[in-house]
Amino acid sequence: MKILTIHGPNLNLLGQREPEIYGRQSLNMIDNEIGRRGERLGIATVCRQSNHEGEIIDWLHQAAENDFTGIILNPAGFTHTSVAIRDAIAAIEIPVIEVHLSNISSRDDFRQKSLTAAVCRGTISGFGAASYLVALETFKILLN
């Protein structure tokens, strides 16, 4: 099993940007946690971050040829705006779990609507960095 984690725009600023909402852990710390949990579960993990919509779409398109069996995606701000990422998810056969650090349902009105959620296998939201770990554990159950 090989899982790709894609972090969307501005997540490179985790730990600095609005820590009262997104937490104090850096993206590197979260990626390390994902890697350690993956090792314990017998799952290979790769983590990537981009502030560029097209790059995220390319990673989604290339996931199958890179032998990924699942994708954990935090589309961040693109959650609410990107029809293109939504269509890229719909176009691939690899299951995608959408994750969010904060509970988007309790945020600003414009953040409460996810364009991408409907084409994902499911959504995990509101548990901080643990949202990624829950997604990884979920893939362990779903793909075995």
Please say if 7 is a catalytic residue: no
Predicted pLDDT at 110: 59
pTM of the model: 0.92
Q: Which of 7, 22, 52, 80 is catalytic?
A: 22
Annotated catalytic residue: which of 7, 52, 61, 100? Answer: 100
For the segment(s) 2-142, the CATH number from 3.40.50.11540, 3.30.56.10, 3.40.50.9100, 3.30.300.30 is 3.40.50.9100
At 55 the pLDDT is 98
What single string gives the DSSP state of each residue in 97-124?
EEEESS-GGGS-GGGS--SSGGGSSEEE
- Specify the length of the chain in residues: 144
Per-residue pLDDT of the chain (144 residues; tens, 9 = 90+): 999 999 999 999 998 877 776 778 899 999 999 999 999 999 999 999 999 999 999 999 999 999 999 999 999 999 988 999 999 999 999 999 999 998 776 566 656 678 999 999 999 999 999 999 999 999 999 998
Are the CB atoms for 56 and 29 separated by under 8 Å? no
- Residue 40's Cβ-side half-sphere holds a number of Cα atoms within 13 Å equal to 9
Q: What pLDDT shows up at residue 42?
A: 97
22 is catalytic: yes
CA dist 63 and 58 (Å) reads 9
Tell me the domain boundaries of the chain.
2-142
Which pLDDT value is given to residue 51? 98
